[in-house]
Amino acid sequence: MEQRLATSLIMTVNEKKFIESALLSDIRVDGRRPFDYRTLTITFGSEDGSSEVQLGQTQVIGFVTSQLVQPYIDRPNEGSFAIYTEFSPMADPSFETGRPTEFAIELGRIVDRGLRESRAIDTESLCVIAGKLVWSIRIDLHIIDNGGNLVDAANIAALAALSTFRRPECTFGGEDGQQLIIHPPDVMEPLPLIIHHFPIAVTFGFIGKENIVVIDPTHYEESVIGGSMTATLNTNGDICAIQKAGGDGVPQSVIMQCLRIASVKAADITTKIKNAVESYNTQRSLRKIKRHDPSPVVICGDHDDDVAKHHMERLNLGSDESNDMEIGRKLNENDKMDKRHSIAKGSGGGPASWDPYSRGVDADALRASLGSRVATPPAIYKEESRQVKPNETKSSKQSSLHEVTKIELETSQPKSLKDAVKPKHKRRNKSTSNAFAH
């Protein structure tokens, strides 16, 4: 009993009276006017489909994930989505872990209804094989801090997370063309969801005997409101859903007034979300470009011999140089061959053999790096390298040789990340050539 008293929000009589009396002179405790929204901040996590929304003191994190599932029988060609809410006890002492409370369910339902009934998410585009496989979208909403008006904050968090979420691209392939291939994000650019419009929830509270209307109530105001209404609208002014909670009745004229105000606020919030998403997307693409930028990497040893080898092979085969996949495949073959040799030889030490860039090497970058380095014709160069190899069998000599070549290389050109992983081939080549030498 005592414990329960200590965990619930304790409002003094003074505060309850003051909130009402201050509203009579058109002012609220945090200095806002009755129809002012609190400051809204939307930030995004490092991963796609995660958002963090701050509405005054209120803080909500949204996270979107996807999964391939069997569709519902009555809708064989539509994907699905579901909303899960998590009320952390950290957010408010009255929140407890375990079974979701009435309010937690209500919050999930309001957000869900706004998205579902207005068909904001194009579920048909989530279909992979009609009747067999569709994408199921899961939206997790974590309440981090309760400063009042969780519904609006959670709704914005869900929309922001959905608009940055990308599901993996999947195609059919395999021998019979019936095998489903889910491409990892580094192979094929993941696809964003199709969101037709943003249904924005705007909550009003009705306080006191006069039913004074306030927008975006704080949790202090929430404990004195007689009733509340959440209207879900989009920028076009279409009403997607309305939720009226609490006992107090509201006249029709007030509802119409609320809806007019809500449509203005919905437009404001939509632009805020869109701006935030846009800046996230720009940063995202910038981050991508950065990965291909030439970055100064410490490189060990003579690797242009290896590059030359690839280059030569490519020339010999006379393949289309712009075809990345072709080169990637060839490199793979080369890789495999090298591996076989290295296993036979049992090469020891050195950098790990993990190499994510062996496939899908950018042809242009390869050509550019070759242009400056391979002065001698490839065939002759290869001969030279063969001749040099036997001398390298002793490790002490080898290291000194590495030193020399390293200095030479560093003066030549800034290295790219792909160059950094090349030495593996080199090492293996060396071991193979050593095998020939012996």
The residue ranges that bind another protein (CB under 8 A) are 2, 5-6, 10-18, 21-22, 25, 27-31
Task: CB nearer to another protein: give 31 or 349.
Answer: 31
Task: Compute the least distance from the CB of residue 32 to another protein, in Å.
Answer: 10
Task: Compute the least distance from the CB of residue 1 to another protein, in Å.
Answer: 8
Task: CB nearer to another protein: give 5 or 286.
Answer: 5
Query: Which residues pair with residue 41 across a beta bridge?
Result: 54
Task: CB nearer to another protein: give 25 or 253.
Answer: 25
229 and 203 in contact (C-beta within 8 Å)?
A: yes
Q: Alpha helix (H) ranges present in 215-361?
A: 219-222, 252-292, 304-317, 324-345
Distance of CA 33 to the CA centre of its chain: 37
Pairing, β 40-44 against β 80-87:
unpaired
Task: Compute the least distance from the CB of residue 90 to another protein, in Å.
Answer: 12
92 and 146 in contact (C-beta within 8 Å)?
A: yes
Task: CB nearer to another protein: give 16 or 183.
Answer: 16
**Structure letter (DSSP) for residue 356:** T
Helix 324-345, helix 363-373: angle, nearest 10? 70
Task: CB nearer to another protein: give 22 or 435.
Answer: 22
Task: Compute the least distance from the CB of residue 202 to another protein, in Å.
Answer: 24
Task: CB nearer to another protein: give 22 or 325.
Answer: 22
Q: Three-state DSSP class for 391?
A: helix
Task: Compute the least distance from the CB of residue 23 to another protein, in Å.
Answer: 9
Task: Compute the least distance from the CB of residue 210 to another protein, in Å.
Answer: 15
211 and 182 in contact (C-beta within 8 Å)?
A: no
Task: CB nearer to another protein: give 12 or 252.
Answer: 12
For residue 157, which amino acid is it? Answer: A
For residue 202, which amino acid is it? Answer: V
Among residues 315, 113, 340, the alpha carbon closest in space to that of 230 is found at 113
Among residues 352, 349, 370, the alpha carbon closest in space to that of 419 is found at 370
Task: Compute the least distance from the CB of residue 16 to another protein, in Å.
Answer: 7
Task: CB nearer to another protein: give 21 or 283.
Answer: 21
Distance CA 310, CA 320 (A): 14
Distance CA 199, CA 123 (A): 16
Task: CB nearer to another protein: give 9 or 187.
Answer: 9
Task: Compute the least distance from the CB of residue 204 to another protein, in Å.
Answer: 21
Distance CA 418, CA 408 (A): 18
Task: Compute the least distance from the CB of residue 207 to another protein, in Å.
Answer: 14
Task: CB nearer to another protein: give 18 or 357.
Answer: 18
Helix 324-345, helix 423-437: angle, nearest 10? 50
**Structure letter (DSSP) for residue 101:** P
Distance CA 368, CA 358 (A): 17
Task: CB nearer to another protein: give 6 or 286.
Answer: 6
- Which residue's entry shows tokens 């992983």? 421
Task: Compute the least distance from the CB of residue 17 to another protein, in Å.
Answer: 7
Distance CA 48, CA 68 (A): 18
Show Cβ contacts of residue 319 under 8 Å, excluding neighbours closer than 6 positions. Answer: 326, 327, 330
Task: Compute the least distance from the CB of residue 30 to another protein, in Å.
Answer: 7
Output Rg (C-alpha) for the chain, integer angstroms.
Answer: 31
